[in-house]
A and B are shown apart, each in its own frame.
Chain A
């Protein structure tokens, strides 16, 4: 589904990603772990198409198409979804209205008519209920004054609504208490299928107790330095990142 080859990216001439190789197949869950500043969030932004970063080398192939030159919205239309570490507050646009705009933008890009209002409302109701989202919440301005947990839950709600092929969850676990974490993890697990894939960017192993990955990668200084099964995450939790760095140095 996603093939990243020798990906280099920089911001203001500072190279952050220094040759990433990554392949994710349908049905898989991958986790990328690594210390602060290793480039994890940059990788997720670059896959989603953030223009601030310059992709200097390499390829990003999604569903057999090279997407490096595509705008973020085109990538979204192809089925890439990024759950933000810091979702942006947009006063004046309610969650519901935002969702309708996003859904219909997707449909338009795929040559479909706007979703009928009743169908939209039904979908919104179903998805929000399954995530335990209060109805009042849907008429509030997008992310404005939301708690950390509410913001993350709202990201997963958007993901549920848009039904992406590849979901990238950037530090979705940060700032969540254990109950919120469970709800978010359940939400993600419910959306898993043999046709879609998930890329988890996380600092801690905690989330991986609830969303169990097939592959764990360790990222240090802009490169993936080690990959393994889910047990690698436990080892990292126990021993920190130093030993991976040391191992790599040898």
Chain B
């Protein structure tokens, strides 16, 4: 049976097992499965998936409902966490919440579970206001909505600075077989509030894992949200990450995506600016090799005047790896004085490596500053010679240059431990023996 049919036919059983009293949710799910049935998975015929085929990851016979939480000890997973600092942790194993690995809170901020938020009256106003209000209707989002069960629920109340970063970590063990997981996260940051979030999907098995994750983020007036995605998964794991952010006036949101490993990674990242003087920042570093595939599909929708957006994606592609960058910026007629900046720089290390880079600017306002630039190149020979002439062997010099090329995206990372960790991962990935501590 094809995955689509399998999913559709499993839906009833899923509903019976998990739906409690919440009628609204029941309706949303039922509509979503109908939408998925109509739309299905995206194919390469769609413009947005022209360079990314999901075929190879959809052919697996994924198990949809793991029976129980697999036992994992903290020591086994410590290295995947940013453990050097105090954080709130939401840890999920095969889509199921792991209480003994997590630390949640309801003290001034809610860092807890989607499953409880969906079913408790206390959270109903927030769910009614925000849940499934942002993710555009498409096959993947509808599929996730139909099977929404678990994920992170984060609500930062008005005038609160979250006292520590929040980590959302999804582990896959797939002990039984290959597995499909669909985390669903909702993050609401009220006026004048601030939070930092770190997200990671990590497979602990050699069986294929497919993650179809949907995250909706709402940044209200003057809110600040910094989001870090660490994608450094096994070659058997694929990720479709769908992240949607709505910003109100004077809010500041940034998303950093570090794509360093995985079979296929697709990042759908959309920003909707509903207010003035908003700043949206998205940055990415992609370093892959072998037959890995990383696709960044971004959208910034400038709806009102006096807002800014900054996009800076760097990629290094070796062997037969494939990169895609599709950055769409829409500036509505009302969005005068918009300042939108986009840049995508790539280094190809092998004749067989590919990058498809496509900026898409749709500008309907006349008083705006929009710039975009894309480069594809090799390493600078003059710089290599400079380093070699100082005694640094060519291989190391190349590593150092690539490191330097990718590294400046890290400047805007606000959590030093993340900066250190990513620095280290990048250096490791590039085989740079830096000979110094970063």
| Residues of A that sit less than 8 Å from B by CB | 45, 48-52, 71-73, 75-77, 81-82, 84, 87-88, 90-93, 96-98, 100-102, 104-106, 109, 114, 141, 158, 162
Contact = CB atoms under 8 A, between A and B. Distances in A.
Contacts of B397: 73
Contact of A71 (B386, B388, B436): B388
A75 B392 CA distance: 11
Given A45-B385, A51-B385, 13 more contacts: A48-B385, A73-B392, A88-B380, A88-B386, A91-B404, A93-B400, A93-B403, A101-B436, A105-B392, A105-B396, A109-B391, A114-B435, A162-B391
A48 B389 CA distance: 7
B297 interface: no
B435 A73 contact: no
Contact of A105 (B380, B383, B391): B391
Given A97-B436, A100-B435, A104-B435, A91 B393 contact: no
A93 B404 contact: yes
A101 B392 contact: yes
Given A88-B383, A92-B407, A93-B400, A82 B389 contact: yes
B381 interface: yes
A120 B313 CA distance: 36
A92 B400 CA distance: 9
B349 interface: no
Contact of B436 (A50, A76, A100, A162): A100
Contacts of B392: 73, 101-102, 105
Interface of B: 380-383, 385-394, 396-397, 400-401, 403-408, 434-436
A101 B435 contact: yes
6 closest A-B pairs (Cβ-Cβ)?
A92-B407, A92-B404, A72-B388, A76-B391, A102-B390, A88-B386
18 contacts: A71-B388, A73-B388, A73-B391, A73-B397, A76-B389, A92-B405, A92-B406, A96-B436, A101-B392, A101-B396, A101-B400, A102-B390, A105-B391, A106-B391, A109-B391, A114-B435, A141-B404, A162-B390
A97 B434 contact: yes
Contacts of B406: 92
Contacts of B387: 90, 102
Contact of B391 (A45, A52, A77, A97): A77
A72 B385 contact: yes
Nearest to A109: B391
Nearest to A84: B386
Contacts of A87: 386
Given A90-B404, A91-B404, A114-B435, A76 B380 contact: no
Nearest to B395: A73
Contact of B393 (A49, A92, A105, A158): A105
B106 to A, nearest CB: 41
Given A97-B434, A101-B434, A105-B396, A90 B390 contact: no
A52 B381 contact: yes
A92 B435 contact: no
B394 A71 contact: yes
A53 B434 CA distance: 29
Contacts of A96: 436
Contacts of B435: 97, 100-101, 104, 114
A141 B388 CA distance: 18
A75 B403 CA distance: 25
Contacts of B382: 88
The residue in B390, B400, B435, B436 that gathers the most chain A C-beta atoms within 10 A of its C-beta is B390
Contact of A90 (B389, B391, B401): B401
A73 B393 CA distance: 6
Contacts of B383: 88, 90
B47 to A, nearest CB: 35
A10 to B, nearest CB: 17
B386 A76 contact: no
Contacts of A52: 381, 385
Contacts of A114: 435
B159 to A, nearest CB: 37
Contacts of B396: 101, 105
A91 B403 contact: no
A85 B435 CA distance: 27
B393 to A, nearest CB: 5
Contact of B390 (A50, A51, A76, A97): A76
Contacts of A76: 388-391
Contacts of A101: 392, 396, 400, 434-436
B389 to A, nearest CB: 5
A84 B387 CA distance: 11
B215 to A, nearest CB: 30
A106 B382 CA distance: 20
Contacts of A98: 390
A93 B333 CA distance: 43
B255 to A, nearest CB: 21
Nearest to B401: A90
